[in-house]
Amino acid sequence: MKFKNRITELFGIEYPIVSGGMVWVSGWKLAAAVSNAGGLGLIGAGSMKPDLLREHIRKIKAATTRPWGVNLPLMRADVEELLTVIADEGVAILFTSSGSPAMFTPRLKEKGMVVVHVVAAVKHARKAESAGVDAVVAEGFEAGGHNGLDEITTLALVPQVADAVRIPVIAAGGIADGRQMFAALALGAEGVQIGTAFAATVESSASERYKQAVVDAQDGATVLAFRKLSPLRVLKTPFALRAMQEEAAGKSKEELRELNGKGRERLGIFDGDWEEGEFEMGQSSGLVKGVLPAADVVANVVCGYEQARDRIADNT
Amino acid sequence: MKFKNRITELFGIEYPIVSGGMVWVSGWKLAAAVSNAGGLGLIGAGSMKPDLLREHIRKIKAATTRPWGVNLPLMRADVEELLTVIADEGVAILFTSSGSPAMFTPRLKEKGMVVVHVVAAVKHARKAESAGVDAVVAEGFEAGGHNGLDEITTLALVPQVADAVRIPVIAAGGIADGRQMFAALALGAEGVQIGTAFAATVESSASERYKQAVVDAQDGATVLAFRKLSPLRVLKTPFALRAMQEEAAGKSKEELRELNGKGRERLGIFDGDWEEGEFEMGQSSGLVKGVLPAADVVANVVCGYEQARDRIADNT
């Protein structure tokens, strides 16, 4: 089926399906596979030093002629070096997350980039629109990884953001299949960003242990940990359960920061360390049933969208 | 528009819209208004003693000839007395929540009742189906009031429950408008249960202070409090903020139970005590813009459903 709305037009893509720019997951291979399948693949700069980001950008240029983008967390200490790489390499589409869109968007727009900012509350969507972004990703509480403070779910957030801004909205959080994409568009979004389902694909950089953990996860398998620090949705692994216990015991921010230490995202997602790593994934993991090529995920989502459209007619 | 699916057939109603059986909110007036508007109104027995429940049942019989039902939390100490009233009065439709459907459903089915159980996780949906219920309400984390332990959102929960059971599913949690109802049906539900939007109607028994608080609430206005005790979604009132502080400080179950005391639901919802009461409401409160008659809420939801159906066609 064919899609045509402001998101497909903005990016020049066939399907309004974006793969999240996930740390230790979204390298050039996954992004290129999604873009070649008609979606928008994002390279996740969050876990890359500037030189590595440059390498991934050069590789994706060789791997696809379709549109692709980069996701950059603006809170990075070396954000300026990363932005220099992004500008040097002529990246056309940039998704920014965390940090202030007001501080960065005007510079990025001057360079002619399409800029999209990720938000988790209506007030941040309004701020991003004022800063001049082209679209927002409205990401709900069910999303894997870093999460908003107000715990607003995708079903509640997307219509409220769609009512509040005039720019197009991409729904994210908990979305793995086509009936959910259909639901997201019904809520007022014009596209979806899918994370976990792409993290478990063949082309994802995640470890096999991580991918299998996504496939094995049931509906209640994840938890929002480190609420006091910076909320993070992870699988209930031994480390996550320990962290939850410490939080419940009233440990301070500082104690939790020390417990968390450094490098647990890599340890879990990339190295597959079950005991000590963080396995970031969303509540949609319960819907992921196998490790597929990314192109199959895109095709299944489009197919599920059509089925939902047909099925909903059965109710009337 | 006309609906015809397993939920409209099961209850004999025009629109597959159920009003939640909410404590201190859902008396005969609200339930009759929803039923007379073509939905299914529920009397909330959770805040009623047996004699009061009998009175409400007798009043709704005089107020509508359409189908209506009762919601009963099975954990009530006086559940047997309440069930005697329900059986004596010939209640035809019973929604049960909390407690064990296996213990109660066979008896209720023997009396010829239609029985629906509220669940917040896939495993509980399977158990309810095995116990013989006619349908389940799959209620997500964004719902007001008492909430599941696994914090699964409506968008993630409904498709997983729909995949797991053969009986029809009613989606609940975060739903206040027609585009969300359309989304819920796309996810595989065949009906919706709406709470907060009906709690703020003219016919609701809640205090005016409570209704105005729903109207004033923004997207991030609520919080899931008492996670250690029994998770409860409430507005961030002064008492709720105090409770959150105590939880963050690591207070024990016992200390939190003492802090909570008794009667705060009534104090907030029914008496409108801003400082000391609990204002239970869902994340959909951000979508509620005024205090309307319940029939207008039903009509608006149906109208919004049609608009969503038409708008989604614009994406292709």
pLDDT in tens, B128-137: 999 999 999 9
- CATH class of the domain at B6-205: alpha beta
* Chain centroid, CA A314 distance in Å: 33
Of B4, B183, B219, Cβ closest to residue A152: B219
> Full-prediction pTM beyond 0.90?
yes
CB B63 within 8 A of CB B87: no
Q: What is the pLDDT of residues A203-213, one digit of tens each?
A: 999 999 999 99
HEC per residue, B180-208: HHHHHHHCCCCEEEECHHHHCCCCCCCCH
Give the mean pLDDT per block of 10 residues along chain A (316 residues): 96 98 98 98 98 98 98 96 98 96 97 98 98 98 97 98 98 98 98 98 98 98 95 98 95 95 96 98 98 98 96 87
Buried b (16+ CB within 10 A) or exposed e, B148-176: bebbbbbbbbbbbbbbbbebbbbbbbbbb
pLDDT tens sequence across B3-59: 999 999 999 999 999 999 999 999 999 999 999 999 999 999 999 999 999 999 999
Which chain B residues are within 8 Å of A251, Cβ to Cβ? 250
Q: Are strands B93-97 and B135-139 parallel, antiparallel or unpaired?
A: unpaired
**pLDDT of amino acid A313:** 86
Query: Is the distance from CB of B116 to CB of B161 less than 8 angstroms?
Result: no
Low-confidence ranges of chain B (pLDDT < 70): none
Smallest CA–CA distance, residue B300 to chain A, in Å, is: 15
Q: CATH 3.20.20.70 region(s) of chain B?
A: 6-205
pLDDT at position A314, please?
85
**A222 to chain B nearest CA, in Å?**
8
Interface predicted TM-score (ipTM) of this complex, two decimals: 0.97
Q: In chain A, which residues fall in CATH 3.20.20.70?
A: 6-205+289-315
- Residue of A119, A312, A314 to mutate when probing chain B, most B C-beta within 10 A: A312
Domain A6-205+289-315 fold: TIM Barrel (3.20.20)
**Res B313: pLDDT:** 86
Hey, what are A129's tokens?
């629109």
Question: Do A219 and B150 lie within an 8 Å CB cutoff?
Answer: yes
Contact assignment for B283 to A142 by CB distance below 8 Å? no
Looking at residue A316, what is its pLDDT?
Answer: 82
